[in-house]
Amino acid sequence: MMLERINGPRDLDALSVEECTDLAAEIRQFLISEVSKTGGHLGPNLGVVELTIAIHRVFDSPNDPIIFDTGHQSYVHKLLTGRKDFSRLRMKDGLAGYPQRAESPHDVVESSHASSSLSWADGISRAFTRTGRQDRHVIAVVGDGALTGGMTWEALNNITDDNDRNLVIVVNDNGRSYAPTIGGFARFLNGVRVTDSYRDLQEGSERLFDRLGAPGRTVYRAARGAIRGLVSRASGNQDLYSNLDIKYVGPIHGHDLEAVERALKQAKAYGRPTIVHVITEKGHGYAPAENDQADQFHAIGQINPENGESLDASSGRSWTSVFRERILELAHQNERIVGITGAMLNPTGLDAFAKAYPRRVYDVGIAEQHAVTSAAGLAYGGLHPVVAIYATFMNRAFDQLLMDVALHRAGVTFVLDRAGITGPDGASHNGVWDLATLQVIPGIQIAAPRDEATLRELLGEAVEIDDAPTVIRYPKGSVGEPIAALRRSEDGVDVLLESADREHADVLFVAVGPMARIALETAALLEQQGITSTVVDPRWVIPVQRSIVDLARTHRLVIAIEDGIRVGGVGTTIRQELREGGVDTAVSELGTPYEFLTHASRGELLEYAGLTAVQIASDVVEQVQGKRLPIARPE
């Protein structure tokens, strides 16, 4: 087995091209076998096997830093740098699904947010030159989807301003991010990909090379290089990149290991910033992924490796599926509603809306800042945009939400999927910052549904607000069982549980969204200790409603529970509102800790953060009764 012989990148040096080809096949089989057990990003990694082998053969990691944009395509890199135990991939104490510095010196950039690699590479390469380390190269592997983000073009503009450094930009062009890449640049690259000369070259490479003898192969290599030059000039690549004043090599058949190595060596020898354009196929070598039209197995759960069929047990309706249905219903009723997303039409649930009304949904690519300001323009033009995005990616467009939407009192609804603790994807994908960061925006209204019914209801309310930004945020996974309210206050706060003596209860739980379930479980445990509780779901958590302040007056302790970072979270705002209202009831602010959470399951991270019913109940008993009691989990 070739893979058993590889414990670090330099073990590749002794291999022939034929042996490396065998290694590539073994790596693909390894990935299919292992990732099918744990879930993870399978398609992107199957597409970069030869490319990653070639990079490690030509360059000397970690002396030559390799930066992946985004990091979900780094599984092959992990294997080649000695990390072969994938049994707990994306699980607690196992390998991270993205590069992680704590795992290996070969990992440089941990953030998995797209379009940042060229800025990293620009800074690192400048530092090497500045400190006299011109012998070191920097390699940025950037997907064509990431090139839809404006940050890459800002970086390119600066990279071409100073050419005295060793920087190689590998454009991994597979025509997709999650789904097919969109926009004018994507159409340009697609023109290269479907050029007859390139297609013939790609399809014939393996077939012809195997049939030629040694002398014929030498002639073939030369001819193939000449054809590539003609294809590049005919497709306009030279014109595009010459205008950027940067050397261009390509297009290269990304699954032809020898061709990729030759192109990388050429770029390495050039001594100035160079783009190597490599055309690959997401999911390459695995028929179920190649034939998957949705996302070519971009991210999977557990599957049958033989046929690619999912083995994940159904856990009920997801939050995303509820949004998918509800936004389509609202779009039927109100033609002013339009949708916007950033290269995530299917993952966020806007796909059904787009299918029904293709001219009313805009996929802007990986360009969150543009999406938000464009939404402000759509609102000014008389429409009501619904921007569907993952919560963690909303961080990238804070200024646009503040200055372009809120300042102009634009009626834009933001639907934040994967809010709170998401788990396996790690620090950069946990959506724990939205409540703390967005609530500082004047006039914003933030809602957190607790179940399917409240998501449907709150979304309907949000799209009726045309003079301020609104936010609906919910987690990854199943919506769970419905949670009924006993009553609703005049300002819209749902009371889920209250004691018989409303005027003298012990604890008021203010539960943010799905944390209502944990609050109710905690209240049941406290009842066993003779502690009475009221549990409310504000629905609209920002601004804090007056009825919550009034309820706090009649309780000994207020506990706010949120699955966002507790520093500056909803609990902090409740404390401020109570102080301003002259209420001196103590407030406990429960949320995620002031740190980056590593990859683990949602349940494990909630327990780490102290956000389980048993942990909360034990703390409450100590505060209310002054003693620490062991609280048993109810059967």
**Cα end-to-end span (Å), the chain:** 50
Q: Is 478 helix (H, G, I), strand (E, B) or coil?
A: strand
Q: What whole-number distance in Å separates Cα of residue 26 and Cα of residue 30? A: 6
The answer to whether the beta carbons of residues 256 and 206 sit under 8 Å apart is: yes
Half-sphere exposure of 178 (CA within 13 A, CB side): 18
Tally Cβ neighbours within 10 Å of residue 197.
14
The answer to whether the beta carbons of residues 370 and 204 sit under 8 Å apart is: no
Alpha carbon dihedral 626, 628, 630, 632, in 10-degree steps, equals 40
In angstroms, what CA-CA distances link 581 with 474, 507, 512, 560, 576? 30, 19, 21, 17, 9
**What residue ranges in 382-474 does DSSP mark as E strands?**
384-390, 413-417, 445-447, 470-473
Asked whether residue 117 is marked as a ligand-binding residue, the answer is: no
In terms of Cα–Cα distance, which of 483, 474, 424 is closest to 320?
A: 474
Cis peptide before 305 (omega within 30 of 0): no
In terms of Cα–Cα distance, which of 260, 343, 262 is closest to 295?
A: 343
Asked whether residue 430 is marked as a ligand-binding residue, the answer is: no
Q: What whole-number distance in Å separates Cα of residue 99 and Cα of residue 72? A: 8
282 a catalytic residue:
yes
Asked whether residue 214 is marked as a ligand-binding residue, the answer is: no
Cis peptide before 70 (omega within 30 of 0): yes
Q: What whole-number distance in Å separates Cα of residue 457 and Cα of residue 245? A: 53
Write phi, then psi, for 169 (nearest 5 degrees): -105, 115
The answer to whether the beta carbons of residues 101 and 108 sit under 8 Å apart is: yes
Write phi, then psi, for 212 (nearest 5 degrees): -90, 145
396 a catalytic residue:
yes
In single-letter form, the type of residue at position 151 comes to: M
Tally Cβ neighbours within 10 Å of residue 339.
26
Q: What whole-number distance in Å separates Cα of residue 266 and Cα of residue 246? A: 14
In terms of Cα–Cα distance, which of 596, 630, 602 is closest to 615?
A: 630
Asked whether residue 489 is marked as a ligand-binding residue, the answer is: no
Catalytic residue among 50, 258, 261, 368: 368
Asked whether residue 113 is marked as a ligand-binding residue, the answer is: yes
Catalytic residue among 90, 247, 262, 282: 282
Asked whether residue 368 is marked as a ligand-binding residue, the answer is: yes
Asked whether residue 220 is marked as a ligand-binding residue, the answer is: no
Catalytic residue among 136, 247, 396, 575: 396
Q: What whole-number distance in Å separates Cα of residue 398 and Cα of residue 41? A: 28
Half-sphere exposure of 374 (CA within 13 A, CB side): 17
368 a catalytic residue:
yes
Asked whether residue 289 is marked as a ligand-binding residue, the answer is: no
Beta bridge partners of 356: none
Task: Tell me the torsion sign for CA atoms 143, 148, 149, 152.
Answer: positive
User: Which residues are designated catalytic?
Assistant: 282, 368, 396
- Please report, in range form, the residues annotated as the binding site for Mg(2+): 144, 174
- Please report, in range form, the residues annotated as the binding site: 72, 112-114, 144-146, 174, 286, 368
- Please report, in range form, the residues annotated as the binding site for thiamine diphosphate: 72, 112-114, 145-146, 174, 286, 368
